[in-house]
Copies of this chain bind each other. A is one copy, B any other.
Amino acid sequence: MSHEELSPTERSTVRRGKHRARSERAELHEVLDNALLCHVGFTVSGHPRVLPTAFARVDETMYLHGSTGSRLLREAANGTEMCVAVTLLDGVVYARATAHNSVNYRSAVIHGRPFAVTDPEAKWSALRAITEHLAPGSWEHARHPDRRELAGTAVVGLDLAEASVKTREGDPGDTPEDVAEDRVWAGVLPLHSYWGTPRPSSEQPRRRPVPEHVSTRRTP
């Protein structure tokens, strides 16, 4: 695996738990590509805001979209500084001491000023990427955005240049004393997710089979 540095600027350098910092682009990409939502933080009139939203990564850019009327998209299109967190929870760590309980996770944090994506071709590509990230196969399957939908949708990009990745995996980090005493069970309870049974729209005639891109979607 290559070890390209993840832009170790002051604020994107992991301050605590440096042993958990992973300085690899591939790992950043993996976190982003495996998460369905991100949490976007920004400041409005001095007050912090955090909102969950969908996204997609294309190369070294992250794309967000939303209604042109939404606060998040308006702020983002204006280049307001943002911090985006993408978090995958992999399990709960049961330690021998409650103070060492923890979680196993993969976490990315990206800092930057988004830019409005207004070029029609670039906007179309970004919308396709977001659609395919959230609902793979549906860009080919469903109706594409029309002129009015495009006009009502804002798209912004965020460069992944300034990003950090932090992960935790494996055993509890108990003290040698607690390990030696061996008084209680310790270990990890992994957390997984899976897709349930597709539920057709209630307005949908029964006869239509669930398409393959939905029925065979890979477990996240």
Q: Which residues of A contact B (CB under 8 A)?
A: 11, 15-16, 36-37, 39-44, 46-52, 54, 67, 69-71, 81-85, 87, 89, 91-99, 101, 103, 105, 107, 109, 111, 127, 131, 134-135, 138-139, 141-146, 149, 153, 171-172, 174, 178-179, 182-205, 208-211, 214, 217, 220
A189 touches B198 (CB 8 A): yes
B residues less than 8 Å from A183 (CB atoms): 143
Query: B36, B84, B96, B146: which contacts A89 (Cβ < 8 A)?
Result: B36
Query: B81, B145, B179, B217: which contacts A48 (Cβ < 8 A)?
Result: B81
A52 touches B83 (CB 8 A): no
Task: Report Cα–Cα, A148/B211, bound state, in Å.
Answer: 58
The minimal Cβ–Cβ distance linking A75 to chain B, given in whole angstroms, is 10
When all copies of this chain in the complex are counted, the total is 2
Task: Report Cα–Cα, A172/B208, bound state, in Å.
Answer: 16
Query: B146, B192, B203: which contacts A171 (Cβ < 8 A)?
Result: B203
Q: A185-B214, A192-B194 are in contact. Are A11 and B134 (CB under 8 A)?
A: no
Could you show 29 A-B contacts with beta carbons less than 8 Å apart?
A: A11-B47, A16-B69, A36-B103, A37-B87, A39-B50, A39-B52, A41-B50, A48-B48, A48-B81, A50-B109, A51-B85, A94-B135, A94-B138, A98-B131, A99-B145, A99-B146, A101-B135, A101-B138, A182-B205, A182-B208, A185-B204, A186-B203, A186-B204, A187-B214, A188-B201, A189-B214, A192-B193, A193-B193, A193-B194
Task: Report Cα–Cα, A200/B170, bound state, in Å.
Answer: 10
